[in-house]
Structure 1
């Protein structure tokens, strides 16, 4: 996301602009766009909330310089004091570092928090500890999402995906993973991508969203990359700039042809148990029908 200078200084954020709260958020059943915004730039966060993303992720980690961490945490807690019309997640600092505990304590339980993204996860105990730290008395804590950003995290993908009931999703952090593996070409990450997709499915989680496309001006490259991600089984994508959102959405929403085919399959199967033959000679079984229903459901998202 393009950075702007925050209106407030490094003290308590009292003048940061933010959209007026409009009751509890109602995220789409299938979020496709997850827009990151730096937690120490309240004006940028406000723009992100108005950009049309399904989820806004306020980042306290990589996007924030060390000397701005405290301000970012305070500004984010101020933002989350009331529910917003767009679901807001927070990416805290690395769980094995000194800042994560303070991040979790500052935002857990706030009415505007809809999820926590946990970076650089490598063991199930980290997820369980985060769930315990954010659980409220007599109530569940916020949904958790684990980011796998190392070879060890990818290797343990299934164990991590099953680490705790509060975990709702896993995804890759490809910049760190690329550095850890020493991978140069994009294809070098495909095995790790497939591993995370399979682990999420095996654990009963939603399909993971793709990692960010770092070149925010390369929209053609973004579209090509999204098509590749969709073919691998991802669903939706994280973004760094609002201009990336429509490209991601177009890539992951069904085409007119896919919708027509899905409607034909569902119609052929309605009231007819067992495999059915379509007019073009293809046979349709329960698995094909289930996939067609998912396509229709995605097209009908709010």
Structure 2
């Protein structure tokens, strides 16, 4: 069992897959996404929450531990409610990847929001699954991450840490999804607390909570997006993850959305369909020309030993060198 921190710090593509569709988990894992997000929240109807939770725990056991499944019986009785089906985060085809190939992905589970009747059982079941995996003798920390929707207060994240500690395992990598006005306004507090490992931006839920009339380019959310991206950088966190583009059918829509996020300083993007992955990666990944330039800058600066240096006829000052170093770090040779 490996710790997913490094992979999740650098991940650029995050593909949602409904927790109620365990038949799609392996397909999503092999889709080429840097990380998959198994969604227990929006993608699961209230009456299916318990079944979906148990399916996720079972898959985690099989995936990371060769069959060490854990379900609601080990963590406490799961809540069961009835009601209309919740909207799927990825729709019917969200994780219908085109094959099982690829090098695999980091695994994230999006739990329900903290004030829901399902959150406590989500966290307890996942902590029990992590504990069972640790007990299987495989070294390392929790091999999967958690995404907390409607993330607003450090206390929620501290509670997750406590539950995992009670099960004898270290807290998982935590992604805080900022999708409410309070969450965006408190992002500095969350970053300063240090419990959340990375931010993600929830554009659609935020627009709903603002009762905003959002145009195609989402310019109305520019302040909120910039605040999240700025806060992540200011506190030395990995670059924030931009929200998804719901339109995966119109040519150019995903590309334009990805470019806007990258231009603002986001370092990755959520996806609701596997065909969005290459479009997102193309925008967020460094080009071969950029990588070549960065290595030449870093090598020239090292050879100059502090003296002024120019590359391609341009002076290499501190910001230029720092940008080159970042690209080299992301693209080791």
* TM-score band w.r.t. shorter chain: 0.7 to 0.9
Deviations 1:49-79 (A, max 9, x none): 1211111110000011111111110100111
1:71 matches 2:51 = yes
Q: Residues of 2 paired with 1:156 and 1:272: CA distance?
A: 44
Deviation at 1:280, TM superposition (A): 5.0
Note if contact 2:40-2:109 (Cα within 8 Å) is conserved in structure 1.
Answer: yes
Q: Residues of 2 paired with 1:95 and 1:275: CA distance?
A: 54
Aligned residue number for residue 117 of structure 1: 147
Aligned to 1:80, which of 60, 74, 78? Answer: 60
Aligned residue number for residue 99 of structure 2: none
Q: Residues of 2 paired with 1:45 and 1:216: CA distance?
A: 20
Deviations 1:113-153 (A, max 9, x none): 51000000122212222222223566421111111111111
Map 1:109-148 to 2 at 5 A. Answer: 109-110=129-130, 111=133, 113-136=143-166, 139-148=169-178
Aligned residue number for residue 12 of structure 1: none
Aligned to 2:202, which of 143, 168, 173? Answer: 173
Residues paired across the two proteins, number = 278
Q: Residues of 2 paired with 1:237 and 1:219: CA distance?
A: 18
Q: Residues of 1 paired with 2:249 and 2:332: CA distance?
A: 29
Deviation at 1:275, TM superposition (A): 6.0
Map 1:1-302 to 2 at 5 A. Answer: 24=2, 28=7, 30-84=10-64, 86-108=105-127, 109-110=129-130, 111=133, 113-136=143-166, 139-165=169-195, 167-181=196-210, 182-185=212-215, 186-274=218-306, 276-278=308-310, 280-300=312-332
CA RMSD of the aligned region, Å? Answer: 2.2
Contiguous gaps of at least 5 residues in structure 1: 1-22
Deviates more, 1:27-36 or 1:247-256: 27-36
Note if contact 1:274-1:286 (Cα within 8 Å) is conserved in structure 2.
Answer: no
Deviates more, 1:110-119 or 1:153-162: 110-119
Q: Residues of 2 paired with 1:129 and 1:232: CA distance?
A: 32
Q: Residues of 1 paired with 2:156 and 2:30: CA distance?
A: 33
Deviation at 1:189, TM superposition (A): 1.1
Seen in structure 2, the aligned counterparts of structure 1 residues 254 and 213 have a Cα distance that, compared at 3 Å, is same
Q: Residues of 2 paired with 1:243 and 1:45: CA distance?
A: 16
Deviation at 1:179, TM superposition (A): 1.1
Q: Residues of 2 paired with 1:49 and 1:160: CA distance?
A: 30
Q: Residues of 2 paired with 1:279 and 1:159: CA distance?
A: 41
Contiguous gaps of at least 5 residues in structure 2: 65-103, 134-141
Deviation at 1:285, TM superposition (A): 2.4
Structure with higher helix content: 2
Larger RCO (alpha carbons 8 Å, 6+ apart)? 2
SS of the residue corresponding to residue 116 of structure 1 reads: strand
Seen in structure 2, the aligned counterparts of structure 1 residues 81 and 289 have a Cα distance that, compared at 3 Å, is same
Seen in structure 2, the aligned counterparts of structure 1 residues 176 and 279 have a Cα distance that, compared at 3 Å, is closer
Deviates more, 1:181-190 or 1:33-42: 181-190
Structure 1 segments of 4 or more deviating over 3 A? 23-29, 82-86, 136-139
Q: Residues of 1 paired with 2:311 and 2:30: CA distance?
A: 46
